[in-house]
Amino acid sequence: MKASGRLFVESFVAGYETAGRVGRLVAPSHYQKGFHVTGTVGSFSATAAAGRMLGLTQEQLAVAFGIAATQAAGLKSNFGTMCKPLHAGTASEHGLRAARLAAKGFTARGDSLECDQGFASSQSDHLSTDAALGEPAQGWHLRNNLFKYHAACYLTHAPIECAKEIRLRSNFPPERVKKIVLRIDSGADKVCNIPNPTTGLEAKFSLRQTVAMALTGVDTANLDSYTEAVTQEPRIKALRDKMAIDFKPHWEHSLAEMAIELDDGTMLETHHDSGIPWADVAKQRAALETKFDSLVTPVLGAAGARRLRDVIDRIDTLADVGELAAASTKG
């Protein structure tokens, strides 16, 4: 089918807002029980986006959610393996399949989110309909969006920013570090606390590893930085061994505090909350463009990356979103 860039944007917004509402329906117990929301809630998000693109009726969309519900899956226990990023792909696959099947008359319950033995009752301990239907801050969940500036688990981002700030502010060689103390929410213990990673994927879910990378100047925004070799780098392993983590119950999950003691007794301290958007929008865009280039250039080349970025900048004016698909393909 041919779709305009405006419809593409509308579909994206529909998907995003659905993720916010379904996520609130089952939060926080859904995630605490071990489900990865990218794969589970993401399936409904993709369904809403595809449903908007295909022009499903309300009745068809309810059925599509039922088809998505029976496919929604994703386990946090697979963090640090290839299955974690696979969840994003399977959620997209499930959503597109659900919308297409519903459009063709395939059947499913239309109340699968809230019914007995449905999505909420089977994958969480409660049904927070008030939270799901409530008005989000600023009127849209999308306006509360946060960006991932580092190619690692989001709960490592605040510690990474702490380490970067201390390194850039004080400019000391890593060998001078005597001790590192990180204070962070206790929930991170079950998400990104692999103490001695041995692969690039495990490195993404290691507080010690990512902090050590940041302290040694490794580009944590670049996917290519996360390799088996970087986990075995002697300076990084030494820093990992000097780090103690103080897990704090009931903390803001995006907040981190860090104290570094140097060999002469100097104490360097800072804190960062990755849940607070950068006030400098230009800084945000520059960081996103840097990450975009690091991800896209190896695939499309420098010229291809510039072409794709140009199309993205014009997305809402495109007569045919196929132009975006074409720009995403290596010529």
**CATH code of the domain covering residue 105:** 1.10.4100.10
State whether 223 and 290 are in the same domain. no
State whether 266 and 199 are in the same domain. yes
State whether 263 and 287 are in the same domain. no
State whether 17 and 135 are in the same domain. yes
**Of 80, 114, 145, which residue is a domain's last?**
145
Please give the pLDDT value at position 295: 87
pLDDT, tens digit (0-9, with 9 covering 90-100), for 178-209: 999 999 999 999 999 999 999 999 999 999 99
Rounded distance between C-alpha atoms, residue 163 and residue 169, angstroms: 10
- Under a CB-based contact definition with an 8 Å cutoff, are residues 284 and 278 in contact? yes
State whether 23 and 123 are in the same domain. yes
- Under a CB-based contact definition with an 8 Å cutoff, are residues 156 and 187 in contact? no
Please give the pLDDT value at position 170: 93
State whether 325 and 264 are in the same domain. no
Domain count, the chain: 3
Please give the pLDDT value at position 273: 97
Q: Which residues pair with 183 in a beta bridge?
A: 246, 257
Residue 278 lies inside a defined structural domain of this protein: no
Per the structure, the complete domain to which residue 136 belongs is given by 5-145
Please give the pLDDT value at position 2: 86
- Under a CB-based contact definition with an 8 Å cutoff, are residues 209 and 203 in contact? yes
Cα–Cα separations (whole angstroms), residue 191 to 84, 88, 274, 329:
12, 17, 16, 34
| pTM of the complete model | 0.87
Rounded distance between C-alpha atoms, residue 3 and residue 232, angstroms: 48
In the chain, what percentage of residues exceed pLDDT 70? Answer: 100
**Pair of tokens at residue 130:** 């008030």
State whether 240 and 158 are in the same domain. yes
- Under a CB-based contact definition with an 8 Å cutoff, are residues 84 and 201 in contact? yes
State whether 25 and 119 are in the same domain. yes
Please give the pLDDT value at position 262: 97
Q: Which residues pair with 244 in a beta bridge?
A: 181
Low-confidence ranges of the chain (pLDDT < 70): 331
Residue 45 lies inside a defined structural domain of this protein: yes
**Of 254, 273, 292, which residue is a domain's last?**
273
**Of 145, 171, 199, which residue is a domain's last?**
145
pLDDT, tens digit (0-9, with 9 covering 90-100), for 143-168: 988 999 999 999 999 999 999 999 99
Please give the pLDDT value at position 138: 85
To which H or E segment does residue 77 belong? none
Residue 34 lies inside a defined structural domain of this protein: yes
Rounded distance between C-alpha atoms, residue 169 and residue 224, angstroms: 26
Please give the pLDDT value at position 330: 83
Please give the pLDDT value at position 291: 86
Give me the CATH number covering residue 212. Answer: 3.30.1330.120
